[in-house]
Structure 1
């Protein structure tokens, strides 16, 4: 089971989404909550999402199609990926699905923010967004 809780509820970063992305992501999360590894993470993120127009967030945020540089906090590696819909995901092209645990964790974050969760094996996982491009 995935947990989207960090040490305290106040430590959770804001999750920004556009209205169009919210509808798509909520539907994906509902359909995949029990089947896809990141479905529960994504469902938790959508449950607390702040719906904004693209220019209304304080800084650029990770959206479907965003190019994101992030640090994997479990192994300290830095990666650059495009966050995509499941049908467009491709490891070879560095396109990760919003239904993967990392893709779900990145959605809605702005540069500098981190998100932590526990994977199905009970391991602590986390990502920190370094940069976002639409």
Structure 2
């Protein structure tokens, strides 16, 4: 299984303006993210800063680019993906920071039998 990474597309300006106008930083409107993976091709994608979970899920599946891409993590703070390509093992995790999320994903990957679990360099943990 090969893991392909995809770069996400920025949110529309209107969404950012709406969040700002409604006090986006006060906890009422929290941006959302998602990680999607194709089990057949190993493609993986992460979306973040979406206005709601449905948009985050749709964006991650779209960026993943395969018909079987499924969302494997939904997150409100930070999300990370870790993989051991030799053992074909991956894991995802959420955390309060990018570092915390990546450490949790790496630890989960190792707990599932991975030996060299790490982030894909071009697909680091992302925070909303």
Same fold, judged at TM 0.5 (above): no
What TM-score do the two structures reach when normalised by structure 2? 0.26
Structure number with higher relative contact order (C-alpha < 8 Å, ≥ 6 residues apart): 1
What TM-score do the two structures reach when normalised by structure 1? 0.25
Max Rg structure: 2
